[in-house]
Amino acid sequence: MATESSGGMLAAVSDELAAAVESGSRSIVAVYGRRRIPATGIVWKDGIVVTADHVLEREEDITVSASGEDKIAATVGGRDPGSDLAVLKITGAAPAAATLAPGGSLKVGNFVLALGAGAGGGPSRVTASFGVVSALGATWRTARGGVVEGYIRADLPLYPGFSGGPLVDTQGRVVGINSSQLARGQGVAIPANTVSTTVDMLLSQGRVRRGYLGVTSQPVRLPSELQSKHGLKQETGLLVLGVESGSPAEKGGLYMGDVIVTLSGQTIADPQDLQAALGPNVVGQATPAVVLRAGDRKELSLTPGERS
């Protein structure tokens, strides 16, 4: 009886996973934007397909297909190499938009599936891999130079052509977009809420604005006496090693040897903190900064430029 019961439970789980693949695959398409095998994209909203930026080796003659036969012309609506996301605009018949999982619904240990369009897209041609969520990360700097507000690492393989496709939960709802290029040596997924924010920005501006100051820097340990003197809880700050001529940093009065401890009210303990603070909202805006100069506290107003 136990064996039969176990077998029935396994069969039920297997059927649920197959149903999740069927549900999630209804919104995926094959993306033809390179000479090699097609990549995967997903219909994010009416007329909009999201895919991975690195799979677009050209900006013209891009097509997508949900059936493997009928191809739909697509134009680039915006690209962000830093997050490895790209938006394509399409017209004509296309699958319905994907269903997104509610924010915060994913937990470490949950089952997830990565879906790919295979050779031509559509439910009959979908490929899938299965695993568990092994990590949910916070803001991080990607291998492609962007700062992304979170990531999903799943214990599953991303086969060739899977980049740009969805990571789905056991109900077939999209929890993220897969990329084989953002983390060196392993695949990760950008969470769906971050993708939505990026898509809106790409559609309105064609790019994701990221700030820059024009400094080279490295973390430096703050002596305990300095921490006590200035009421700092952080153990490290960011030592300015160089300042570019004519840069926002130079114009704002930042000098080589200064130690940045906050920017826009955010603690700056390492270069990743600085990049995270230089988001699109600070570009062109007077931004308060606190630095330590020869042991003294200095308050500056810096106006970050836009990273080209």
Q: Which residue numbers are catalytic?
A: 54, 84, 163
- Alpha-carbon gap, residue 292 to 269, rounded angstroms: 13
* Helix H or strand E encompassing 240: strand 236-243
- Sequence-distant (6+) residues with CB within 8 A of 76 are 56, 59, 62, 86, 87, 88, 89
Which DSSP string do the residues of 34-78 spell out, in sequence order?
Answer: SSSS-EEEEEEETTEEEE-GGG---SSSEEEESSSSSEEEEEEEE
- Alpha-carbon gap, residue 120 to 114, rounded angstroms: 16
Q: E strands, 81-230, where?
A: 85-90, 111-116, 127-141, 147-154, 166-168, 174-183, 186-191, 211-212, 215-221
- Decide if 64 contacts 49 (C-beta within 8 A): yes
- Sequence-distant (6+) residues with CB within 8 A of 154 are 112, 114, 131, 132, 133, 134, 167, 187, 189
Q: How many CB atoms lie within 10 A of CB 65?
A: 22
